[in-house]
Structure 1
Amino acid sequence: MSRTVRGARVLITGATRGMGALFARRAADEGASELTLWGRDAAALERSAAGLARPGLRVRTDVVDLTDLAAIDDAARSVLAGNATPDVLVNNAGVITGNGYFWEQNPREAEETLLVNTLAPMRLVSHLLPAMIADADRPKRVLNVASAAGLVPNPRMAAYAASKAAALTWSDILRLELEQADHGHVLVTTFCPSYVSTGMFAGAGAVRMTPALRPERAVDQAWRGMLAGRPFVITPPGVHLGRAARGMLPARAWDAMARVFGVHGSMESFTGR
């Protein structure tokens, strides 16, 4: 059981299913004293909370639409007012829309993707981080779920890849800023998985050397990396190969390699949830 989590207050966004629900269970199992779960579906939040009952654990649920920045402001202020400043913050919530080319998609879909995947975690951290910095009595952790798509983008997911690339860069700069400002008790980890088999990427095609991750495996890797304060958790190993090849090869050579490995065709059969 981690000393970082035992007795800690933990806030998780997108906590009703998939990796979010698994992060919540992990926090409960490791002895968190308070869990704050954010999601859009009140009934699903209540079901999640009911399944997390543990002696000494208080579970709070907040219905928050992450496409509404004012709602994030209100919910974050409520957390602070309730003396529930998190020791561990998991920015897990994410969305992806259809698999059309960028010009075929409704512009509103791109806007919602950027709101949930990029602007929402930024907005939430802007509220909570000052209080996390001020409380240096115990270690603090921020886990930001980005994506391998932010490192190795591929067609038919333009808005999603852009949102995750922005989230990835922001997250790592946040880490550097905390180090530079000597707030060493607050550590930031950026999680960059390839496809995770939660249903969010249902129908996505296989990529050579980059198998889809079981959600339990993805959460375990992210959680362990976060507790250790690792700057990045990038998984599976094939993502490192793609990242390195894209950085070293000329653009056309990388394009050819990505086609051969199935990267550029992996979203053609995507259906999602």
Structure 2
Amino acid sequence: MKNLKNKKVLITGGVRGIGKQIALEFAKNGSDIIICDLDKSSFKKNNFHDIEKLGVSCSEYFLDVTDYNNIKETRKSIIKDIGKINILINNAGIVFGGNFLKLPIEKHQKTYDVNIQGVVNMTHVFLKDLIEQEDSHIVNIASASGFTALPNGTTYASSKAAVTNFSESLINELKLDGNKHVGMTIVCPAYVNTGMFDGVKEPLFIPMLKPEKLAYKIVKAVLKNKRFVLEPSFIKLIPAIKALSPYSFFDFLGRVLGGYSSMNFWTGRKDNK
């Protein structure tokens, strides 16, 4: 996508954290912003003057990514109010850290419902609109944990692995169907300093990311139609190391570098329980 000016960008989970920073970064490039979120209280707390003062519009919609019918109705409202979107950013996500058996099954189910089923739901509802545009893009927020094991984050890591595989499969399906004008960027960061991962211990060589830096990288990736955003730099090595190493050696690195113990003391946001 060569130009973001006047493009309509829909961001799920956009009232805070990575989503809010992504919205701001696209706004700096002249895009009109559509914030969709489940957290009504955050809509009241967050004013979007910092986005609107950049000379773009910023609209807010209550949306539950796990509710397919709610998404369809929200789409109708967006088209009526603003028009069809050009860029879909599936950012909404949730994490529950802890021992697999000790966590209630409801938390495991909610993780999958939001992190992967939410991505599928949103994409299924909005994909036809994106195909109809001359130039459009999908950004799916996955995770570096989708490339590796994450003890005490089992369902989170596996849900993000599913996002990566879903994204790669879909973009190739679109190309085979002749829809090469629809771009795809899969974002696979390490831990991001938004509160979601409070309490985690940073692995060696993998510092906590600032959401501002990640948002900047995402926008640049959309402009260059890059398939992946892997941050920080060490994350770029993980898929190659895993592919070329025996599992015993890869697991050894996970233990020694601290990746396998990083979630041991996860607390997360106070409102994410």
TM-score normalised according to structure 1 size: 0.92
Partner of 2:35: 37
Partner of 1:132: 130
Give the Cα–Cα distance (whole angstroms) in 2 for the partners of residues 76 and 108 of structure 1. 28
Q: Give unmatched runs, 5+ long, in structure 2.
A: none
Please report how far the alpha carbon of residue 81 of structure 1 lies from its aligned counterpart in structure 2 after TM superposition: 4.3
Partner of 1:85: 84
Alignment of 1:57-136 (within 5 A): 57-82=56-81, 84-97=83-96, 99-136=97-134
Partner of 1:242: 238
User: CA 1:15/1:110 → structure 2, altered by over 3 Å: closer, same or farther?
Assistant: same
Give the Cα–Cα distance (whole angstroms) in 2 for the partners of residues 53 and 28 of structure 1. 8
Partner of 2:159: 163
Partner of 1:230: 226
Q: Give unmatched runs, 5+ long, in structure 1.
A: none
SS in 2 for 1:143: strand
Please report how far the alpha carbon of residue 106 of structure 1 lies from its aligned counterpart in structure 2 after TM superposition: 0.9
SS in 1 for 2:216: helix
Partner of 1:187: 183
Moved more, 188-197 or 23-32: 23-32
The answer as to 2:226 corresponding to 1:217 is no
Q: State the 4+ residue runs in structure 1 displaced beyond 6 angstroms.
A: none
The answer as to 2:249 corresponding to 1:253 is yes
Instruction: Give the partner amino acid of 2:17.
Output: G
User: CA 1:147/1:55 → structure 2, altered by over 3 Å: closer, same or farther?
Assistant: closer
Give the Cα–Cα distance (whole angstroms) in 1 for the partners of residues 217 and 54 of structure 2. 26
Please report how far the alpha carbon of residue 241 of structure 1 lies from its aligned counterpart in structure 2 after TM superposition: 2.4
Give the Cα–Cα distance (whole angstroms) in 2 for the partners of residues 5 and 233 of structure 1. 18
Give the Cα–Cα distance (whole angstroms) in 2 for the partners of residues 166 and 40 of structure 1. 22
Please say if residues 87 and 132 of structure 1, whose CA atoms lie closer than 8 Å, have aligned partners that are also in contact: yes
Instruction: Give the partner amino acid of 1:96.
Output: V
Instruction: Give the partner amino acid of 1:222.
Output: I
Partner of 1:6: 5
User: CA 1:17/1:249 → structure 2, altered by over 3 Å: closer, same or farther?
Assistant: same
**CA RMSD in angstroms, aligned pairs only:** 1.8
User: CA 1:260/1:76 → structure 2, altered by over 3 Å: closer, same or farther?
Assistant: same
Please say if residues 193 and 235 of structure 1, whose CA atoms lie closer than 8 Å, have aligned partners that are also in contact: yes
Instruction: Give the partner amino acid of 1:27.
Output: F
Any idea what the Cα deviations from partners look like across 1:132-169, whole Å, max 9, x if unmatched?
11222xx2111111000111121001110111011110
Please report how far the alpha carbon of residue 82 of structure 1 lies from its aligned counterpart in structure 2 after TM superposition: 4.0
Instruction: Give the partner amino acid of 1:216.
Output: E
Please say if residues 69 and 123 of structure 1, whose CA atoms lie closer than 8 Å, have aligned partners that are also in contact: yes
Please report how far the alpha carbon of residue 228 of structure 1 lies from its aligned counterpart in structure 2 after TM superposition: 1.0
Instruction: Give the partner amino acid of 2:253.
Output: M
SS in 2 for 1:15: coil
Moved more, 227-236 or 50-59: 50-59
- Percent of aligned positions with the same letter in both sequences? 29
TM-score normalised according to structure 2 size: 0.92
Please report how far the alpha carbon of residue 255 of structure 1 lies from its aligned counterpart in structure 2 after TM superposition: 1.3
Moved more, 42-51 or 87-96: 42-51
Partner of 1:150: 146
Give the Cα–Cα distance (whole angstroms) in 1 for the partners of residues 3 and 127 of structure 2. 17
Give the Cα–Cα distance (whole angstroms) in 2 for the partners of residues 95 and 256 of structure 1. 28
Any idea what the Cα deviations from partners look like across 1:88-108, whole Å, max 9, x if unmatched?
1111111101x2221111111
Partner of 1:177: 173
SS in 2 for 1:124: helix
The answer as to 2:14 corresponding to 1:18 is no
Any idea what the Cα deviations from partners look like across 1:100-123, whole Å, max 9, x if unmatched?
221111111111111111111111
Instruction: Give the partner amino acid of 1:118.
Output: I
Instruction: Give the partner amino acid of 2:129.
Output: A
Instruction: Give the partner amino acid of 1:74.
Output: E
Partner of 1:200: 196
Instruction: Give the partner amino acid of 2:263.
Output: M
